[in-house]
Structures are given as C-alpha cells and as structure tokens.
Amino acid sequence: MSGTPVQPPRSGRPLHGEPILERAFRVLGAFAEAGEGLTLHTLAARAGLPKSTTSRIAAQLTAVGALERLDDGAFVVGLQLLEIASLAPRGHGLRAAALPFMEELHRSTGQHILLAVRDGDEAVLVERLSARDAAAVRYRVGGRLPLTGTGIGIALLAYAPERVRNDALAGADDAVRLRRLMATVRAEGVCATTVPNPLRSGPAVMSTAAAPILDRRGAALGALSLVAPGEGGVRAAARTALRRASLAVSRAVGR
C-alpha cells in the first residue's frame, strides 16, 4: 500500500501518439517509495518507455525542478513537486483543519492516525501520525490504498458515487461484509475491521477504525483512521474518540 507504480504497456513502448505530458507523468509515477532514487534504466523500465525517451523526459523534468539528479546519477523526486502539491486544496486544506485533532488522537492512543481522501477508485493518504512504539505499517503520505481493503477506504467508499461502490463490490470477494461495514459507517459514523498486515514483520493482522469527514451536504471530504496491531486492537473508547474527531474536523472545515 505504499504507492501505485505506473503499469507499462506490454510492448515496453509508449502508446501510439501518447502526449509528452502523459509520458512525463508516467516517469514521475515510477517512484513508489519516499526518498527513492532510481537509475535511468530502472526509471525507463517502470515507466514502460524507451531509455532514450526516458532520458530526454527526465532531463526536462530535472531542468524545471520536478526531478533532481544525485551525484551517482540516480534520479529522485524534486522539491518543486512538493511545493506544487502542498497547494492541493483536497490535501493541504483538509490536512490543516484535521491536524490538531489528529495530534490529540495520536497522544491519547499512541497508535497510527491516518487522513485520506478518495481519488477515483482509490484512497490517497495525505497525512499520517505515527508513535515510535506503534507497530510498523506500510502506509505512506502520498501513497494509494484500496477502498475495499482498508478501514479508511471503506469509510470513503460508503459515501462514494454509486458507480464507484458498484464497481468496487463487483470485484470484491467479501461484498456482503463490505456492504455491512458501509452501512455501519452511514448509520453510526464509524466502522471497525481487521485486515491482514501487508508487512511480513509484526502482527499477522491489524485492527483499524475509520470515520468519514463530511461537508454540510453530507458528501465525504475525506476520512480519519486509527490503526492498531492485532485483532480487536481498537477499543470502543478509541472508536468514540475517532468519531468525535471526524465531526470536529467537519465543523472546522465548514468554518
């Protein structure tokens, strides 16, 4: 759940007539981990582009600050992208309103507190607070999470357009369980579930509770989540605190 690398075409060649901007985003989308440095060969392979094309695009992206080149020749994401991304209203604005309440939850529970928004059929993590002693998780800020495989995704899915919900349920093996959890979110404002831990180290399962952040019309702006190790790791008091926090963020955004 760290990120969603671009899937290259099977031929390894760019699509016929593919605009340069789309190819540039394929190069940027090749980065999947924070601080990751990629050689030109790896960058081209992940983007599914010829090495010569990748070299030309990477040079242009470096010239405008979207990429930076290390002394060993590897490419990393540039600060210019951070500056631009920080202006995104669905990420930065919501984060600013939510952060004080996330910090309070973080102090009281000592566990991971996540904030995400929906982007199409995925969730994008826009903030994460992690305690030093909390079990390791794979989620990273800017990473994409499945709507059906995480508590925070389910909270967002409950308020997604009908088409998105139907598509997600059609491809799920546990549609009955997902419908039940979404109904719980809409009725109680919070849901709790246990999911497999994607990391080999640590507990086999992780418990998560999630609550949507709604605007005045009842549409989901985002969702908050608390992640704890083991089954049943999110107690009732923590779920209540999470629900209160989501309501407080909703009011703060409204102001």
Tell me the average pLDDT across 161-172. Answer: 91
Same domain, 215 and 137: yes
> CB-hemisphere CA count at 13 Å for 233?
21
Q: Considering 28, 52, 78, which residue would you say is the last residue of a domain? A: 78
Same domain, 47 and 97: no
pLDDT above 80 (res 126):
yes
* Helix or strand holding residue 39 (H, E): none
Same domain, 69 and 119: no
pLDDT above 70 (res 12):
no
Q: What is the pLDDT of residues 136-147, one digit of tens each?
A: 676 778 888 889
- Looking at residue 184, which CATH number applies to its domain? 3.30.450.40
202, two tokens: 């640590």
Please name the amino acid found at residue 14. P
146, two tokens: 């499945």
Q: Show the domain range for 39.
A: 20-78
Whether residue 14 lies inside any domain: the answer is no
Helix (H, G, I), strand (E, B) or coil at 238: helix
Q: How far apart are CA 116 and CA 106, in angstroms?
A: 16
Q: What is the pLDDT of residues 33-88, one digit of tens each?
A: 767 789 999 999 999 999 999 999 999 999 988 899 988 999 998 888 877 776 66
Burial class of residue 182 (count of CB atoms within 10 Å of its CB; 0-12, 13-18, 19+): buried
Whether residue 6 lies inside any domain: the answer is no
How far apart, in Å, are the Cα atoms of 140 and each of 32, 114, 123, 173, 238?
10, 9, 12, 26, 22
Nearest Cα neighbor of 49 from 79, 11, 21, 81 is 11
Whether residue 41 lies inside any domain: the answer is yes
Instruction: Mark 94-108 as b/e (b = at least 16 C-beta within 10 Å).
Output: bbebbbebbeebbee
Helix (H, G, I), strand (E, B) or coil at 116: strand
pLDDT above 70 (res 5):
no
pLDDT above 70 (res 3):
no
How far apart, in Å, are the Cα atoms of 248 and each of 102, 104, 128, 215, 252?
10, 12, 18, 11, 6
CB contact at 8 A, 19 and 161: no
Number of domains forming the structure of the chain: 2
131, two tokens: 């305690």
Same domain, 61 and 115: no
Q: What is the pTM of this model?
A: 0.69
Same domain, 165 and 41: no
Angle formed at CA 250 by CA 248 and CA 251, multiple of 5 degrees: 65
Whether residue 15 lies inside any domain: the answer is no
Helix (H, G, I), strand (E, B) or coil at 103: helix
**Could you give the percent of the chain with pLDDT greater than 70?**
84
Burial class of residue 77 (count of CB atoms within 10 Å of its CB; 0-12, 13-18, 19+): buried
Same domain, 44 and 170: no
Whether residue 225 lies inside any domain: the answer is yes
Q: How far apart are CA 18 and CA 16, in angstroms?
A: 5
pLDDT score for 1:
38
